[in-house]
Structure 1
Amino acid sequence: MFGLDAFHLARAQFAFTVSFHIIFPAITIGLASYLAVLEGLWLKSRLAAWRDLYHFWSKIFAVNFGMGVVSGLVMAYQFGTNWSGFSQFAGSITGPLLTYEVLTAFFLEAGFLGVMLFGWQRVGERLHFFATCMVALGTIISTFWILASNSWMQTPQGYRIEHGVVVPEDWLQIIFNPSFPWRLLHMSTAAFLASAFFVGASAAWHLLRGNDSPAVRKMFSMALWMALTVAPLQAVIGDMHGLNTLEHQPAKIAAIEGHWENKPGEATPLILFGMPDMHAERTKYALEIPHLGSLILTHSLTRQVPALKDFPPQDRPYSPLVFWSFRLMVGLGLLMISVGIISLWLRYKRRLYTSRPFLRFTLLMGPSGLIAILAGWFTTEVGRQPWVVYGVQRTADAVSAHGDLHMSISLLAFILVYGSVFGVGYLYMMRLIKIGPLSSDNRRPEPGGPGRANTPARPLSAVSQRNEER
């Protein structure tokens, strides 16, 4: 299929399923904390707009959470079906870390999710707020364990190898490996930022169509405050993460920069754009800024950055992909920072909610956070190649012994199933967003309690409610 052998088809299948899956946890992490903030603001102020926003986003959160769970289960099975060599070699470390994620995070989320979604009129206000906070905490704990496992694969430590398999020696070193703190900060911040632009684009869509309600204004304002504060912070975290990567994975940095060789006594230039050529061992059409590569990557004007030719050809990551995925991520990050700065100027001019060019710009930036996360993931994972456990196990040694036909059929099946099932899920979330937050004044009383707001606890009831209102 596509001229690929079983090994590359297995990699393509894993990349495809992860690319679908990673979007859902990113939104879940951000929206869970957003819901906790909304409910806390409502409890403090009793302002109806906060409650309306909570009910609106809780439906979208529920749909997204469900799709994240389903797609995550598929990821776990692939370790055994397609990557049995990796499971046999490193399962004694990755297995417990993923188990801790289930025991401490997934059970916490699942235990309180029902109270959060269905308990608004069935439990006390404080207990419901506590449940929302526990769900938000569960998403952060889940991120902790998943990133601990992935970071150990990137910068392994705290182990020994006996009889061809990894044996854990120090779990604190395994969990808190050298790249873990920066990966955890970078991914968590990216999730909050992606959710902020998701929320901000939803508000911009409604403002462009004349829905200038207090609830819409508040979610637009909150999203832009988040962009203003978090986007520059993410740039700083990214810089520190880059320095860590330069120390522990220098070949990845060389591939990201498209940097092939150092000239004696010269600082490393920064290649803004170009076409890395793995066969010719050079970056064609390179647009360079002298010395800037050394300044950014080493914070020095004299130190050189390791070059791709410093590593054997079989140990070099595929530079063309990571070169452009990294630049896509950085470019989107700069645009996010610009959105925050422009929003601050429009606040000062009192035109934040009425500037249609800015509203359109924010709407277009809606998926930017998720695209940046995908670009960053490709940079991280492709840049680790040809290792599945960096410097310890090669990816070619981790794959299961499947035939080309088997992998072709399974990949095609994944594309068809994911495209239909999760495509419907995406469309349904977009439909929920188009409905918008409903004011409590426009809701009808429901059976089950005096004065109970007609806020469907079940996310799928929202569309039928909208059709009835028409």
Structure 2
Amino acid sequence: MTFGGAMELDPLILSRIQFAFVVCFHAIFPVFTIGLASFIAALEALSLKTGNPLWQRLSKFWIQVFAVVFGMGVVSGIVMSFQFGTNWSNFAYATANFFGPILSYEVVTAFFLEAGFLGVLLFGRDKVPQGVHLFAAIMVAVGTFISAFWILSANSLLHTPDGITVENGLYYVDSWRDAIFNPSFKFRFLHMGIAAFLTAAFVVAGVSAWYLMNKREVEANKKALSMSLWMILLLAPTQVVVGDFHGVNTLKHQPMKVAAIEGHWETGTGIPLLLFAIPDKEAQENHFEIGIPKLGSLILTHDWEGEVKGLKEVAPEDQPPVIIVFWAFRVMVGLGTLMVLFGLAGLFLRRKQRYLECRPFLNGLRMMSFAPFIAVLAGWIVTEVGRAPWLIYEQMRHAEGLTPSLTGGMALFSLTGYIFVYAMIFSAGVFYLMSVLRGGLETANAEQIDSDVEKAQRPISAANANLDGGL
């Protein structure tokens, strides 16, 4: 995008900004609903097993939250796919033999499953047996993971293409197994799955902490907070281990992405772990470096003297935007470290249940309920920007996948439209979601409370009627 006597709009840059905006907007919804669906299924199972009404009260409330967020995710996700035809038609045409079936499988195996059983989950509590309602909750949770499976498989192929060949500019599948289960898929799927559970756990913990601080539905929210803290304690350190395996895999298949993550320019051994730096792509160096000697090699290669390739291995035009990748990764890692610390703090405060009354800890959980979303977005930025300038790693550049007839004006118009529409969706969704959160378990279970009161009043009414008749 340049400015001279007249403004010239670059359709490639605008299309990349548009796709990045739409993907980031959409990603925050499924990463929450995947984890929350499993939490709801667990609540339904506990309700059926124990008969304790508190579990059902919690489930009713969080189902309301799930319905709002799921709806926002569906709307933003469906619209997102249109861009393949409008902005990236060359890419869509070239990869149709793989992406067409994969996206169809996602719809057939996941979306229909979720949509079908979601109706039972939302409206069938008093219309089907409790076991059937639990089965619907489980199917919705399974559907969210199936959807993530196909989407991450398709996205992973862009990073580590395998099982495909290119003939006359078109991609053909030689091995569906190798293409679906490409080299980075299992690490990325596991990493995202854990991130989804952590997101739900921190949101549940933050909301429950807020209710406890305001003395609302204390017993039910004690249970929800306890469950979420155990989940955080278990999964936050696990995510660190999975992230390490993912990093080693990325070093093997996308060394330039790792070099950008580390801000590492020269190939060498015993590289430091940079805690702070300002990468300068134009000068091909860093400014104001602060690092720990040799720790970078140890983390990446598990060897103090391990060799790591630098960004200068490729031409500057083939290097990712280093400063974006470098700092997005540190945001993700920093927030991940905070998650581990909160899990450990929750364990320390378990003694005499101090975690239920420690206001600094509860306030911290409230603030941390936003952290997983920021961490997920930072991780997506590392993943996608780190692949640049490749649309399919080392096979197709972004410019090659762009729609040939797309003009800068058309791209700007669609980008503006997406921003406007998504702003409306987000504003309406957040407004309704906040009303649900303000209402709390009391509002979510109002009908049940009225029903219980009515049942309790029936014997009294009958006794009064008999008394009147006797008089």
Residue in structure 1 matched with residue 424 of structure 2 by the alignment: 420
Instruction: Say whether 1:228 aligns with 2:233.
Output: yes
- 8 Å Cα contact 1:388-1:395 kept in structure 2: yes
Secondary structure of the residue aligned to 2:209 is helix
Q: Which residue of 2 is the match for residue 251 of structure 1?
A: 256
Residues 260 and 443 of structure 1, relative CA distance in 2, 3 Å threshold = same
Query: What SS does structure 2 have at the residue aligned with 1:436?
Result: helix
Distance 1:443 1:111 in 2: 25
Stretch deviating more after TM superposition (60-69 or 399-408) = 399-408
TM-aligned CA distance change 1:412 to 1:33, over 3 Å: same
For 2:15 and 2:347, the matched residues in 1 are separated by 47
Report the Cα offset of residue 392 of structure 1.
1.0
Q: How does 1:362-373 map to 2 (within 5 A)?
A: 362-373=365-376
Which of 389, 407, 410 lines up with 1:406 in the alignment? Answer: 410
Could you say if the C-alpha distance between residues 303 and 444 of structure 1 is closer, same or farther in structure 2, counting changes exceeding 3 Å?
closer
Q: Is the 8 A contact 1:317 1:383 kept in 2?
A: yes
Report the alpha carbon displacement of residue 396 of structure 1 after superposing the two structures with TM: 1.0
AA partner of residue 417 (structure 2) = A
In the TM superposition, what are the counterparts of 1:327-406 in structure 2 within 5 Å?
A: 327-401=330-404, 402-406=406-410
Partner of 2:435: 431
Query: Separation in 1 of the partners of 2:432 and 2:312?
Result: 49
Match of 1:18 in 2: 23
1:58 matched residue in structure 2: 63
Is residue 85 from structure 1 mapped to residue 90 from structure 2 by the alignment? Answer: yes
Which has the higher Rg, Structure 1 or Structure 2? 2
Q: Is the Cα contact below 8 Å between 1:216 and 1:437 reproduced in 2?
A: no
Q: 2:211 is matched with which residue: 206, 215, 218?
A: 206
The Cα shift of 1:349 comes to: 4.3
The Cα of 1:445 is off from its aligned counterpart by 3.9
Structure 2 counterparts to residues 158-197 of structure 1, below 5 A: 158-197=163-202
Task: Decide which moves more: 434-443 or 115-124.
Answer: 434-443
CA distance in 2, matches of 1:2, 1:116: 52
Could you tell me which residue of structure 2 aligns to residue 287 of structure 1? 290
CA distance in 2, matches of 1:426, 1:91: 36
**Pairing partner for 2:76 from 66, 71, 93:** 71
1-10 or 244-253: bigger deviation: 1-10
**Partner AA of 1:345 in structure 2:** F
CA contact (8 A) 1:262 1:304 kept: yes
Counterpart of 2:364, as a letter, is F
Take 1:270 and 1:113, find their aligned partners in 2: how far apart are those partners?
47
Cα deviation 1:282-337 (Å, max 9, x = unaligned):
11111121100100000001112110001122211111001000000000000000
1:315 to 2:318 alignment: yes
Q: CA offset at residue 205 of structure 1?
A: 1.2
Q: Are 2:70 and 1:46 equivalent residues in the alignment?
A: no
AA aligned to 1:437 is: L
Larger deviation, residues 171-180 vs 206-215: 206-215
Deviation at 1:404, TM superposition (A): 1.3
Partners of 1:440 and 1:296 in 2: CA distance? 50
Other-structure match for 1:461:
none
For 1:134, which of 131, 136, 139 is the aligned residue?
Answer: 139
Tell me the alpha carbon deviations over residues 107-164 of structure 1, each in whole angstroms, 9 at most, x when there is no partner: 1111111111100000111111111111110001111101110011110011111121
Amino acid at match of 1:56: F
**CA deviation map 1:345-388 (0-9, x unaligned):** 11124211100000111111011111100000000000011111
Q: Is the 8 A contact 1:29 1:136 kept in 2?
A: yes
Moved more, 178-187 or 395-404: 395-404
Question: Contact conserved, 1:48 with 1:440, CA < 8 A, in 2?
Answer: no
TM-score (norm 2): 0.92
Partner of 2:307: helix, strand, or coil? coil
Percent identical among aligned pairs is: 49
Size of the aligned set, in residue pairs, is: 448
Alignment partners' CA distance in 2, 1:415 and 1:129 = 38
Structure 2 SS opposite 1:391 = coil
Per the alignment, do residues 54 and 2 of structure 1 end up closer, same or farther by CA in structure 2, a change over 3 Å counting? Answer: farther
C-alpha spacing 1:61/1:247, structure 2 compared with 1 (3 Å): same
Which of 130, 136, 152 aligns to 1:147? It is 152
Distance in structure 1 (CA, Å) of the matches to 2:51 and 2:218: 17
One-letter amino acid matched to 2:412: S
Tell me whether 347-356 or 1-10 shows the greater mean CA deviation.
1-10
What SS is found at the alignment partner of 2:353? coil
Amino acid at match of 2:90: G
Work out whether residues 60 and 445 of structure 2, in 8 Å CA contact, stay in contact via their aligned partners in 1.
Answer: no
* Residues 1:441 and 1:162: Cα distance change in structure 2 (over 3 Å): closer
Letter in 2 for 1:60: V
C-alpha distance in 1 between matches for 2:256 and 2:409? 34
CA distance in 1 between counterparts of 2:321 and 2:80 reads 24
Preserved contact between residue 271 and residue 308 of structure 2 (Cα < 8 Å): yes
Question: Distance in 1 between the 2:408 and 2:336 partners?
Answer: 39
Asked if 2 retains the 8 angstrom alpha-carbon contact of 1:332 and 1:372, the reply is yes
Q: Do 2:61 and 2:445's aligned partners in 1 also have CA atoms closer than 8 Å?
A: no
Separation in 2, partners of 1:32, 1:350: 27
Picking from 11, 14, 23, the partner of 1:9 is 14
Question: Which amino acid in structure 2 is aligned with residue 235 of structure 1?
Answer: V
Question: Which has the larger displacement, 419-428 or 85-94?
Answer: 419-428
- CA distance in 2 between partners of 1:257 and 1:410 (Å): 35
Distance apart, 1:427 and its partner CA: 2.4
1:161 aligns to what SS in structure 2? Answer: strand
CA distance in structure 1 between the aligned counterparts of 2:210 and 2:115, rounded to whole angstroms: 32
SS at match of 1:177: coil
| Matched AA of 2:436 | L
